[in-house]
Copies of this chain bind each other. A is one copy, B any other.
Amino acid sequence: MNQPEMPSTVPAEISSDPLAPLFFPRAVAVVGASAVPGKRGYKAVQGLIEAGYRGAIYPIHPREEMILGRRCYRSVSEIAGEVDLAMICTPAAAVPGLVAECGRKGVKGVVVVAGGFRESGPDGERLEEALLEAAQRHAVRVIGPNTSGMFNLSIGLDLLGLRGIRPGHVAFISQSGNMLLSLVLEAQYHGELGFSIYVGPGNQTDLGFNDYLRFLGGEPNTRVVTMYVEGFRSGQRFLQIARGVSRHKPVVVYKSGATEAGKVAARSHTGALAGSYAMTVDLLRQAGVCLVQQSDEILPVAEGLAAWNAAPGARVAVLSDGGGQATIAVDRLVEAGLSLADLQEGTRRRLAAILPPQASLRNPIDVAGASDDNPSILAECLAILAQDDGVDALLLVGMFGGYALRFGEQLMGNEMRCAETLAEWRLKWQGKPLVIHSLYAPIKPPAVRRLREAGVPVYTSIEHAVRVLQALAERGQYLRRCAEPEAGAVSPLPEVREIFLRAVQEGRNPYEHEARAALAAHGIAVDETLLMRSPEDADAVLARFGDRPLALKIVSRDILHKSEAGGVRLGVCGREALLEAYEGILVSCRAHAPKADLHGVLVTPMAARGVEVIIGMVRDPVFGPVLMFGLGGIFVEVLNDVAFRAVPLTRDEAESMLRQLRGHKLLHGVRGLPRVDEARLVDLLLQVADFVHAYPEISELDLNPVIVHERDYVIADARFLLNPNMLPLEGEGDG
């Protein structure tokens, strides 16, 4: 990767960004600078000097005259020139006062290292409030407190003093300072990989993940934004920003907490499954984020995405010099959802013309020893493959970089020429990523170094190489499909709001027939139901439904689990059975819950056999409204086979919810079940999304099951939970 030139000023693209003075300051004060090596206030000054920061450096110290050859000041106010950024290394107690002083001096931002704020208890919380208050009063932006620090290597601004970090194009935002250390050491070992900006958000009192991501999205030295996240705060806003940034720059996130226990109690099915790691994964991917699920893949994936940004598709050509590596690569490619490109006849002919007869010309291509005395033939083969319209990306596996070591020094010139040719790949085959696996990569021979220097990623691990190809293909797919989802155009209806108001006034959630009526009012197909409130209603039921088999369900605000209360009867035929079932339900429910208010019994015709699915919505405290889709019944209960998307969502995103399920095949008609009309199901998902958008008072929604047939569906149960606080005040927002 090329080292960026060190600019003396803020890049034009972000010159008006409010965070620019923090990350591209013209002068830096180090408050709490120290003359003692190893101390934070020493390291910061040392880091700035050693990294070659060209702006003014002002150590602030009560007594020292000079630190590391720089004149010390007693306080920020004593400095004559302008100061954009102050690094504050003092203990917590002094920080609010210092921030106020910085503000008076005109400092734009502070980096507060000290812990002892919110994370330490009530006293710290008060101190953090004071800090924020001082910052806001004086218009000072705050990184931290309790941050591991910040650097911007493109201008030599190194406030961490980690030393020896190479400037480059990977930005990193991390809730763990040790994760930065880990990536820095990995990059040092790598040798050619470097960083642009690092920031530890710390307590995120003022600035947080969202601000940094937005800023780095525009920062021109950053080609990929990488994050280690333990928890999101304003997740809904994060998704919005990530959507915007990832349209032009890859965003790589490692989210910890993959195995956190889910929430214990939830009243709806959707509520029980939401808030999980799986949900976070789905929502981040929806926003175009490349989610990395193994910590040792963070840097390799960042390297690959920084190099190529995206692949035009998932069809990979694999070139090998023989051996098990090609076999392993193919296994991993297929597991990763990528495919082996089918080579065109012309491509094979051109390969045949330069390769020996025993070479395998079917993908994976094996050069059959032809590279052993002429490594350059690999570059020739890759160029031929890159011209094939059916090839989206290329993977070279095997010994490249080690030919001279393995077969003799006489190959060095040839091998380096090959590396030179491949180093120009970016210019020639811009659209088609080239990823290289070399079993000699740990030894870092010259050819490997040359390739990496040119930004062509080379990996020791085939698994990492394939993971990068997967990330590139997924990103390509995202870029082709991404569109801004539109919030629903559906307005709330007075009659529906009336239903919700009545329910809230009665201190309950809507009855099932009310929920059905609300859906029906918005054109969502619900099958007809009748409410029996006395045996006499049987006439109306029979007049309407004839002798079709019927389902009867208790309607009661007090009975949540209808089956357990004996409140459900299925396959009821004829008057006698109907009356018996009606009475039976009431008797059972009274026995089960003597004090329950039994509102009536809901009657619907039995649904024909079909595929059971579940559609749900929760308002997640972090990510806002989230739609859930899954295969119902055993699938959701035993396998948790569900997909989540943030609302609003595009049609394409709704479609991807179906495809994502492990049991997707079930929608295609197996074991005598109908083949489902997926477009119809997607319509329903989008209708539900619009519906919940129109009624913020619906806090959770469960349509479970929806029984789907070849051409239509039946919503066999509908349940809404209301949040009375979200109901509009009377007269407000109706219509």
**A296 on the B face (CB < 8 A):** yes
Q: B residues within 8 A CB of A259? A: 330-331, 334-335
Q: B residues within 8 A CB of A257? A: 327, 331
Q: Please encode chain A, from 630 to 667, with 1 for each CB lying within 8 Å of some chain B CB and 0 for all others.
A: 00011101110000000000000000000000110110
Given contacts A463-B296, A638-B670, whether A179 and B442 have CB atoms under 8 Å apart is: no
A180 CB to nearest B CB, Å: 9
Most buried by B among A174, A294, A334, A638: A638
In the bound complex, do residue A634 and residue B671 qualify as a contact, i.e. CB atoms below 8 Å apart? yes
Q: Please encode chain A, from 309 to 337, with 1 for each CB lying within 8 Å of some chain B CB and 0 for all others.
A: 00000000000011111011011001100
A131 CB to nearest B CB, Å: 21
Closest Cβ neighbor of A637 among chain B residues: B670
Q: B residues within 8 A CB of A662? A: 638-639
In the bound complex, do residue B294 and residue A463 qualify as a contact, i.e. CB atoms below 8 Å apart? yes
**A181 on the B face (CB < 8 A):** yes
Given contacts A324-B228, A663-B639, A670-B638, whether A256 and B181 have CB atoms under 8 Å apart is: no
Q: B residues within 8 A CB of A670? A: 634, 637-638
Q: B residues within 8 A CB of A325? A: 176, 178-179, 182
**A462 on the B face (CB < 8 A):** yes
In the bound complex, do residue B256 and residue A460 qualify as a contact, i.e. CB atoms below 8 Å apart? no
Q: B residues within 8 A CB of A23? A: none
Interface residues of A in 320-364 (CB under 8 A from B): 321-325, 327-328, 330-331, 334-335
A463 to B402, alpha carbons, bound, how many Å? 28
Q: B residues within 8 A CB of A330? A: 259
Interface stretch, picked from A2-10, A184-192, A549-557, is A184-192
In the bound complex, do residue B186 and residue A460 qualify as a contact, i.e. CB atoms below 8 Å apart? yes
A133 to B343, alpha carbons, bound, how many Å? 43
Given contacts A331-B256, A334-B259, A638-B670, whether A296 and B461 have CB atoms under 8 Å apart is: yes
A92 to B181, alpha carbons, bound, how many Å? 55
Q: B residues within 8 A CB of A487? A: none
Q: B residues within 8 A CB of A175? A: 324
Q: Please encode chain A, from 666 to 678, with 1 for each CB lying within 8 Å of some chain B CB and 0 for all others.
A: 1000111000000
Most buried by B among A182, A256, A665: A182
Count identical subunits in the complex.
2
**A295 on the B face (CB < 8 A):** yes
In the bound complex, do residue A633 and residue B323 qualify as a contact, i.e. CB atoms below 8 Å apart? no
- Which bucket holds chain A's interface residue count? 35 or more
**A464 on the B face (CB < 8 A):** yes
Indicate which residue in B186, B463, B637, B666 contacts A634 across the interface (CB closer than 8 Å): B666
In the bound complex, do residue B256 and residue A442 qualify as a contact, i.e. CB atoms below 8 Å apart? no
Closest Cβ neighbor of A633 among chain B residues: B671
In the bound complex, do residue B178 and residue A398 qualify as a contact, i.e. CB atoms below 8 Å apart? yes
A475 CB to nearest B CB, Å: 23
Closest Cβ neighbor of A611 among chain B residues: B634
A643 to B6, alpha carbons, bound, how many Å? 60
Interface residues of A in 401-426 (CB under 8 A from B): 402, 406-408
Q: Please encode chain A, from 106 to 126, with 1 for each CB lying within 8 Å of some chain B CB and 0 for all others.
A: 000000000000000000000
In the bound complex, do residue B179 and residue A443 qualify as a contact, i.e. CB atoms below 8 Å apart? no
A295 to B178, alpha carbons, bound, how many Å? 27
**A53 on the B face (CB < 8 A):** no
A188 to B405, alpha carbons, bound, how many Å? 14
List 10 other contacts, CB 8 Å, given A181-B323, A634-B670: A178-B323, A178-B439, A182-B439, A185-B442, A258-B331, A259-B331, A259-B334, A296-B462, A634-B634, A638-B662
Measuring CB to CB, which residues of chain A are less than 8 angstroms from any residue of chain B? 37-38, 174-179, 181-182, 185-186, 188-189, 228, 230, 256-259, 294-296, 321-325, 327-328, 330-331, 334-335, 398-399, 402, 406-408, 439-440, 442-443, 460-464, 563, 633-635, 637-639, 662-663, 665-666, 670-672
Identify the 3 closest CB pairs spanning chains A and B, nearest first.
Answer: A178-B323, A176-B324, A189-B442
